[in-house]
Structure 1
């Protein structure tokens, strides 16, 4: 028996109420254990018949390396166990977990939305293709309440032009991070600490995180590489009521980097161990409450990023506080559902990471929102239709390079964007920054092992004179596009589908088409400050629309 596939945005929250009050019953275990609950053939002491516990319902794991989530120390297993798995095949002891996963994705894009890259890359448009390979080994040993875990992840690409950074779509740290430790930590967990009915987990070391809606902190699903952090995370759960996460970490830098320091690194054929960014601290906390009123859930959070420069990692010295709140109701057959999330951001930031503007510090104030309203029909194929709108502020003052000018371009920190705006990979046209986008999605599942989604989005820039791209938008890293006509970027439609052969072998595929608007047709690459390059030497984005196609296989043991 399987639960329907849930949106990526709810990966962490879908487990929140899965472990019920049976955990709390341990509070009186010292007394009740002595007396016992004598049962035989399902009959209790008093002679009444005890109902059989319903079979568990599991969610299918995402199309990415996710063996590490198969055994949550506080909430138990909420994902399907691979039907082909090394643990059973090798007759491993219960205290040892081993998992192997391999994902292969073919991607193709025509008439890319970004027509050119900064020097030394040639100014060229056209299309590209890529085979992205993600291979993962997960090992965990349980000794009492302690867990010792290590995850080795190898992310690499092939077939992408010449395989160097001197191409229109160079391999970079979002697609390539050759064999390295994605995670390596020790944790202590107690499902009923001090017989209080509350679960506590403390985790120390290198780790990945999925928090809240995953819009600000996530282990990316579609992207070939992952975000990881080194530090301490504490989780406290009052089952079926609330959950609190607090963390203090250093982000992990993926090496070698493609940036202004090492612009010509051949990422595919070169290995360099990832390192913690010891000059940067990322910390915060999130409190999630469930069933606060008529199945309505809520969460509040505050994150803090304090960024510093290192020899191989020049930064914009972002010092941000990012508070937020989300109120939502989960989808259910025959019911309406909704999500409303607001994110603020304030602090200071340098105008650029390197060059003449690297010492110009600005005040930073920005905000973002996500609103969603849907209905799940009680019909065959289980259709769900929902409207959505996303907004993230842009920079009103990009032309002003003085310290007195305020920066207002929202920064999505370490979040994922694929479940809102479409796939990353060699496409990745939209992020949660300088965007104003309404849209809708239609999900349906003709069979238990198949699911489909059709979606459409209209995209404007929140600030038409600001750039379209990432939160930095400078030519020192991945450039953005700026200086286009108006603020209308275009109309994006997409169709995706997934087929689950079983819990070990899954396939998905998708097609996206971007009907380019006036801004996308006329914008030019950005310079070191994130503004449009001037002069005839800088070609504008090609006028042809963009098509993106992918097909993926995911094998897990």
Structure 2
């Protein structure tokens, strides 16, 4: 017997709902650490979204338009499809939720956003000016005994246009999806699996092949993951450990006839935190992230984070975008405060090493294939402050990063010959 209930993503009252956001960001960087770009740069980002949703009983129909543009860049500014995607219908879906036996079940089909598990592999990136959209099917199940499962079969939306000249002028083209790029898999979790710990297992397969005018690395990557976490609580320790292993195959380059390499890559995130019982709701964490990098020839060991977010663990994207989940080994400490529903802040310190000295450091493009430039990339200080100017209507955000370069980022053959990197961003987001 199947009895439908209102979808989790729909308003209980039903009917038609219209909402939207507009975010204005000014960001600037001095002494860009990534190879091949302007030493100093600034950029204005504008992101506007409009969501329409209709709910009737157990069913929901929704659509969301995203318009992401930048202004002020030139040929040396790192403008990609991470910054520009003009007038795109990122979401256009139908959904339903019901009960099958004693389990709650929901299904969704069409174009939609995804945030799955820890969001380190599949996410709708929030800090970045554009988002990751997916077209296909999603199913969720939740049982009475604390077991939840999510399964997907989707075609990731490939943002268009993607050539630098078109992106600089905010040109319009419809994004595409096709069976040349497929992502499928899911996550299974059990609350209180080991005492108060939640246990999670995940698997995702990414299949990719060339299309006319768009050569690829022909990735066929299987990612297996496991996660244990304890939720934060005042006056108590909490923590998280998540690990991924990747296998499969990938082309050595995008050139026709390039050799096919076996994949053997991995990633681990570990954190232990303590939440103080104080008015500032202070939370102090020690954490460690390590993502493998290429080493000896013959095997591809550069970890692929697929469609994961980076801001929550590592650093901002945008003009900085230097530290991601690839060839990095970084212990760190984080302090977070949230003394009021209207504002919160955090600050982190991370020491940055290369997991492999012969691969490019993280997402900078800086590389010394000989390994002679050492393995220390530098010290990173990162902070964020957010304040609701008008609760639920207008929010201000300030982000800042200092990267004090180590030997590798100073001595590698293609390292920009500049000093300490400073990045800052001011954001104002209006919602209705």
Same fold (TM over 0.5): yes
Q: Does 1:523 align with 2:416?
A: no
* Aligned-pair CA distance for 1:265: 3.2
Name the counterpart of 1:368.
267
Write the mapping of 1:290-309 to structure 2, written as runs, cut at 5 A. Answer: 290-309=191-210
Match of 1:214 among 107, 119, 126: 119
Name the counterpart of 1:497.
385
Name the counterpart of 1:535.
none
Name the counterpart of 2:283.
384
Give distance in 2, aligned partners of 1:109 and 1:314: 31
Q: Does 1:104 align with 2:12?
A: no
CA contact (8 A) 2:186 2:202 kept: yes
CA contact (8 A) 1:334 1:375 kept: yes
* Aligned-pair CA distance for 1:240: 6.3
CA contact (8 A) 2:293 2:326 kept: yes
Name the counterpart of 1:171.
79
Give distance in 1, aligned partners of 2:411 and 2:227: 37
The verdict on how the C-alpha distance between 1:308 and 1:292 changes in structure 2, with shifts beyond 3 A counting, is same
Q: Does 1:508 align with 2:366?
A: no
CA contact (8 A) 1:521 1:541 kept: yes
Give distance in 1, aligned partners of 2:124 and 2:186: 17
Which stretch of structure 1 is more off in the superposition, 485-494 or 441-450?
Answer: 441-450
- Structure number with greater Rg is 1
- Which consecutive residues of structure 1, in runs of 5 or more, have no partner in the other structure? 1-25, 30-71, 79-92, 118-124, 471-478, 526-539
CA contact (8 A) 2:84 2:170 kept: no
Q: TM-score, normalised by structure 2?
A: 0.94
Give distance in 1, aligned partners of 2:380 and 2:317: 14
Q: Does 1:73 align with 2:12?
A: no
Q: Does 1:201 align with 2:76?
A: no
Give distance in 2, aligned partners of 1:413 and 1:205: 21
CA contact (8 A) 1:115 1:126 kept: no
Superposed CA deviations along residues 59-96 of structure 1, whole A, max 9, x for unmatched, are: xxxxxxxxxxxxx9237779xxxxxxxxxxxxxx8411
The verdict on how the C-alpha distance between 1:269 and 1:496 changes in structure 2, with shifts beyond 3 A counting, is closer
Give distance in 1, aligned partners of 2:189 and 2:169: 41
Superposed CA deviations along residues 428-452 of structure 1, whole A, max 9, x for unmatched, are: 1111011100001001123331111
CA contact (8 A) 1:177 1:225 kept: yes
CA contact (8 A) 1:233 1:248 kept: yes
Name the counterpart of 2:365.
480
* Aligned-pair CA distance for 1:422: 1.1
Name the counterpart of 1:135.
48
* Aligned-pair CA distance for 1:469: 3.8
Name the counterpart of 1:236.
141
CA RMSD of aligned residues (A): 2.1
Superposed CA deviations along residues 515-541 of structure 1, whole A, max 9, x for unmatched, are: 00011112244xxxxxxxxxxxxxx41
Bigger helix fraction: 1
Give distance in 2, aligned partners of 1:228 and 1:298: 27
* Aligned-pair CA distance for 1:115: 4.1
The verdict on how the C-alpha distance between 1:76 and 1:137 changes in structure 2, with shifts beyond 3 A counting, is closer
Name the counterpart of 1:547.
422
Give distance in 1, aligned partners of 2:413 and 2:10: 51
* Aligned-pair CA distance for 1:266: 4.0
SS at match of 2:184: strand
SS at match of 2:313: helix
Give distance in 1, aligned partners of 2:310 and 2:215: 24
SS at match of 1:419: coil
CA contact (8 A) 2:25 2:44 kept: yes
Give distance in 2, aligned partners of 1:76 and 1:289: 25
Q: Does 1:256 align with 2:164?
A: no
* Aligned-pair CA distance for 1:382: 1.0
Write the mapping of 1:265-344 to structure 2, written as runs, cut at 5 A. Answer: 265-344=166-245
Name the counterpart of 1:467.
360
SS at match of 1:265: helix
* Aligned-pair CA distance for 1:418: 1.0
SS at match of 1:189: strand
CA contact (8 A) 2:85 2:170 kept: no
* Aligned-pair CA distance for 1:201: 1.1
Give distance in 1, aligned partners of 2:238 and 2:108: 34
Give distance in 2, aligned partners of 1:413 and 1:349: 14
Name the counterpart of 2:341.
448
The verdict on how the C-alpha distance between 1:547 and 1:248 changes in structure 2, with shifts beyond 3 A counting, is same
SS at match of 1:277: coil
Name the counterpart of 1:81.
none
Match of 1:189 among 97, 106, 125: 97
Aligned residues: 426
* Aligned-pair CA distance for 1:197: 3.2
Superposed CA deviations along residues 301-333 of structure 1, whole A, max 9, x for unmatched, are: 110011111113211011011000000001110
Which stretch of structure 1 is more off in the superposition, 128-137 or 239-248?
Answer: 239-248
